[in-house]
Amino acid sequence: MWLNLRPKSPEDQHAFGLSSLEWIGNRYRAIGLTAKPETVRWWRLLRRRLTRIAKRVPRGTLSAALPPEVFAFPNAYRYLEVGCSGDPNPFDKSLHESLR
């Protein structure tokens, strides 16, 4: 599991950052490396809890033209509601340009 905390955008000083919590899951099942069942359950429970407090939104915006694919916690959602932009992807500069 990875936790990436990025409170500020590295590219746009007026945008807030995009943090992430990631898990590789059962990516290596094909070669016999599977996640333990209790880890899978824990991840599902965590995701369920997060969906109760966060809203699914498009990356960096509330634009209806883009598909919702990330979760915005309450404070981040309030920023988006008042027109602030969020970092679409701190690793991909081309996404910054396409959303502008």
Domain residue limits, the chain: 2-98
DSSP H helix total and E strand total for the chain: 3, 4
User: How far apart (Å, rounded) are the C-alpha atoms in residues 45 and 63?
Assistant: 29
**40-90 residue pLDDT tens:** 999 999 999 999 999 999 988 999 899 998 999 999 999 999 999 888 876
**10-23 residue pLDDT tens:** 877 888 888 888 89
DSSP secondary structure letter of residue 88: S
Cβ atoms of 58 and 68 closer than 8 Å: yes
